[in-house]
Structure 1
Amino acid sequence: MSSIEHITFRNADMYWDIAADLHLPPDFDPARTWPAVVVAHPIGSCKEQTSGTVYAPALADAGYVVIAFDASFQGASGGEPRLLEDPAQRVQDFSRVVDHLVTLPYVDADRIGVLGICGGGGYSWAAAKTEKRLRAVVSITGANFGRVQREIAGHDGGVVAALSAIGARRTAEARGEASTVAEFLPGTAEAAQQTGDIDIIEAFEYYRTDRGRADNGNVRFEVAHGDTALGWDAVHLVEELLDQPLLIVIGDEAKQGAFGAWRDGHEVYERAASTDKKIIEIDDASHYDLYDRPHGAGEALTSVVPFLDERLRGA
């Protein structure tokens, strides 16, 4: 059975620590060199949820050194303001994590892959465009957070209105008002049901019940810096820069949900510069089935492990 080391680290370009769990293979020997995988949690989540409880242990059991990390400003990682969801920082975190991995004598710096779930999958696409030490890319129900935020704001001037409101919020806080945090999910299961949207309904079930609830998995965001997400796009330039081996896993029921993972997955698959790319669509699986369900995450792993083995081990 794999083992876990709880670690923190800080790189030269940081003023805060990143907290991570290092999952080591059952037969781990520090005198050997191992392939490694960086695992990124969803939006508003933390390493104690699907990234570090489902995917990281499974990959470690398959023979990888796996690092499941909390994004800067979130979870147990440092950074102020708290609950900041800044895509530029989220993408930069991948390079910070790789910087740490390559200092570990038992990690093969030429055999590092990445796996991201939901928004972490979208950030994985974006990171891999410029971080070429990531040699293979896997997204699990990956979503483009910038697009999600723009669609929530609405068309016909909704995004510009949202940006103006954020500017007003920043002005208020610069003049001394307390920072404001927004809830991303409805307040009750009944309110979630009333949306009629499978992603919102199942997000509430995952994050607000014992199924997936964790102290740091809040799905809450600091409001005054939301402008960066509204102006960001995970798939910009993928046709030029995303050239690593690429596996995209989605559920066919995700096409019905507000988070748009089915649509985003197909878009990236079609546009990515990768010549070695695959898309797997799991029948009757929803966005959140791919977080932790046997019919979802379990089936995804039956494809993920062989994909990574071939690209990072030459198996």
Structure 2
Amino acid sequence: MTTGTIERVTFRNPDMYWDIAADLHFPPNFDESKTYPTIVVAHPIGSCKEQTSGNIYAPALKDAGYLVIAFDASFQGASGGEPRFLEDPAQRVQDFSRVVDHLVTLPYVEIDRIGVLGICGGGGYALAAAKTEKRFRAVVSVTGANFGRLQREMAGQNGGCLQALVGIAQQRTKDARGEQSAVNGFLPETRDAAQQTGDIDIIEAFEYYRTDRGQAKHGCVLFEAAHGAAALGWDAFHLAEELFDQPLLVVIGDKDKQGAFGAHRDGHEIYERAYSTDKTLLEIDGASHYDLYDRPHGAGEALKTVIPFFDDRL
């Protein structure tokens, strides 16, 4: 293995009928006869490993001496699974254990020194996974969002969730009968439409996912409709007071206080609720949700704390 190599891998666990696709990032001066602390990096919702998880955080952690694996969620990106664009929190959480199951078969992974980092929805899923996946010895959430809470709020008050569930049930019946399936977009179709929302998260999401800045083949920000009920009934932070005991670093930006995705609020919530006695909340002044994806004053500032955090805890 040569220094700086990225190896594209696929693997399948006994509980799966599809493959997970991932990129292994090898640290400088890698020696396969040695073992290395390893970090699992998870992409945002509607995203893929070629975006912030795999092209910003994984390279930086690799350069710091870690073996890093950036993976595509099941049913998304280059990973297998049908229907495509499925966003099922239970499957997303299980993916973390599936990735660790693969890592512990690799002779150069130091199995007692595995950490996890997730961005946006990937951060919320990483937090949820760590409650029960104790092979993760340290956890970092970067502008992490609780996808269940986000879906419920987007459905609206005054029975909005119940109406959404009825619509999902109707679409699932159509799918079962062989009618046309439905895939929903998460973003406005044009920059002007995004601007008209007046919401910093939606405006910046368009600028990231729909321009050369962040566009990627599999970063479609699309969601399969017939199985959306699972997310509406899910909460990433359920039982965190009892089950989340690993060292925790929560990174948020202070410009995101009013953003639709709610990562600022979620960051404060999980910091308060986590049972862990070793936890840190880093709030970066002047940084927004999407600054933490790839901007120097965002992701760059976060990494100045993320890397020492893993150095101390792994």
Shorter-chain TM-score range: over 0.9
1:85 to 68, 84, 87: 87
Question: What is aligned with 2:206?
Answer: 204
Give the Cα–Cα distance (whole angstroms) in 1 for the partners of residues 125 and 231 of structure 2: 12
Once the two structures are TM-superposed, the CA of residue 178 in structure 1 deviates from its matched residue by: 1.6
C-alpha separation in 1, matches of 2:194 and 2:237: 29
1:298 pairs with 285, 297, 300, which one?
Answer: 300
Query: Is 1:214 aligned to 2:216, yes or no?
Result: yes
Q: Which residue of 2 aligns with 1:44?
A: 46
Does residue 23 of the first structure (1) align with residue 25 of the second (2)?
yes
Out of 127, 130, 133, the residue aligned to residue 132 of structure 2 is 130
Q: Determine the C-alpha separation between the residues in 2 that align with 1:27 and 1:108.
A: 16
Aligned equivalents of 1:160, 1:22: Cα separation in 2 = 42
* CA–CA separation in structure 2 for the residues paired with 1:161 and 1:185: 21
Which of structure 1's runs of 4+ aligned residues deviate more than 2 A?
none
Q: Distance in 1 between matches of 2:4 and 2:271?
A: 32
User: How many residues get paired?
Assistant: 312
TM-score, normalisation: structure 1: 0.98
Partner of 2:228 in structure 1? 226
Aligned to 1:117, which of 116, 119, 126? 119
Task: Using the TM superposition, give the Cα deviation of residue 141 of structure 1 relative to its aligned residue in structure 2, in angstroms.
Answer: 0.2
Deviation per CA, 1:54-94: give whole Å up to 9, x if none.
00000000011100000000000000000000000000000
165, 171, 184: which one aligns with 2:167 = 165
Give, in angstroms, the shift of residue 2 of structure 1: 2.5
Q: Match for residue 95 of structure 1?
A: 97
* Paired letter, 2:43: H
Identity score, percent:
77
One-letter amino acid matched to 1:185: L
Out of 70, 75, 83, which is 1:73 matched to? Answer: 75
* Matching of residue 148 in structure 1 with residue 150 in structure 2: yes
Judge which range, 281-290 or 174-183, deviates more: 174-183
How far apart, in 2, do the equivalents of 1:28 and 1:77 lie?
27
Deviations 1:167-212 (A, max 9, x none): 0011111111021100000000000000000000000000000000
3-state secondary structure, aligned to 2:110: strand
Of the three residues 272, 286, 293, the one matched with 1:270 is 272
Moved more, 170-179 or 71-80: 170-179
**Counterpart of 1:283?**
285
Residue identity in the other structure for 1:194: Q
| Pairwise CA distance, 1:256 | 1.7
Partner amino acid, structure 1, of 2:280: K
2:63 to 61, 64, 67: 61
In the alignment, structure 2 segments of 5+ residues that lack a partner are none
